[in-house]
């Protein structure tokens, strides 16, 4: 069995936390899911919504998922004893280029009441479709 994890910010390839993953994935692919994306400066926040959010899906063996989620939950401030969640891990449908679909875990910002309209990343056209991408102005690669 496989475990898929959708990332849209600092954990993506080429971003500052790419090296934080505890083990190499079986593969990394471009993907998107629905939500709303916000720019918090050093990192983004995703909440439920209707825009297409561009990111990557990292695929691991299910046997490696416990350690992967332990590390990612710590990074994302999820389920840490004595602390309020910064992000909540949820299962979401994810679409791959070419139309394939799968279900992946993703981290949603738990403090959406703190977000402002100015922080929202508006979708822009990339490859003929409209996607919100972090960091602002970057390409979907």
DSSP 8-state secondary structure symbol assigned to residue 111: -
Q: Considering the domain boundaries, does residue 98 fall inside one?
A: yes
Domain boundaries, position 47: 2-131
CATH number at residue 70: 3.10.490.10
Q: Considering the domain boundaries, does residue 49 fall inside one?
A: yes
Full-model pTM: 0.95
Q: Considering the domain boundaries, does residue 136 fall inside one?
A: no
Q: Considering the domain boundaries, does residue 141 fall inside one?
A: no
Q: Considering the domain boundaries, does residue 125 fall inside one?
A: yes
Q: Considering the domain boundaries, does residue 139 fall inside one?
A: no
**pLDDT score recorded for residue 141:** 62
Q: How many domains does the chain have?
A: 1
**pLDDT score recorded for residue 99:** 85
Q: Considering the domain boundaries, does residue 137 fall inside one?
A: no
Q: Considering the domain boundaries, does residue 140 fall inside one?
A: no
User: pLDDT per position in the chain (141 positions), as tens?
Assistant: 999 999 999 999 999 999 999 999 999 999 999 999 999 999 999 999 999 999 999 999 999 999 999 999 999 999 999 999 999 999 999 999 888 999 999 999 999 999 999 999 999 987 778 999 999 878 776
């Amino acid at each position: 069995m496989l475990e898929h994890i959708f990332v849209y910010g600092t954990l993506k390839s080429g971003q500052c936390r790419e090296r934080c993953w505890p083990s190499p994935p079986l593969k990394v692919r471009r993907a998107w899911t629905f939500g709303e994306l916000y720019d918090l400066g050093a990192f983004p926040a995703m909440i439920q919504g209707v825009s297409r959010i561009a990111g990557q899906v990292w695929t691991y063996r299910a046997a490696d998922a416990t350690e992967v989620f332990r590390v990612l939950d710590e990074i994302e401030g999820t389920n840490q004893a004595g602390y309020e969640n910064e992000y909540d891990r949820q299962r979401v449908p994810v679409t791959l280029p070419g139309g394939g679909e799968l279900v992946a875990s993703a981290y949603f910002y738990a403090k959406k009441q703190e977000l402002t309209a100015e922080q929202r990343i508006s979708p822009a056209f990339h490859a003929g479709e409209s996607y919100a991408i972090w960091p602002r102005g970057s390409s979907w690669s």
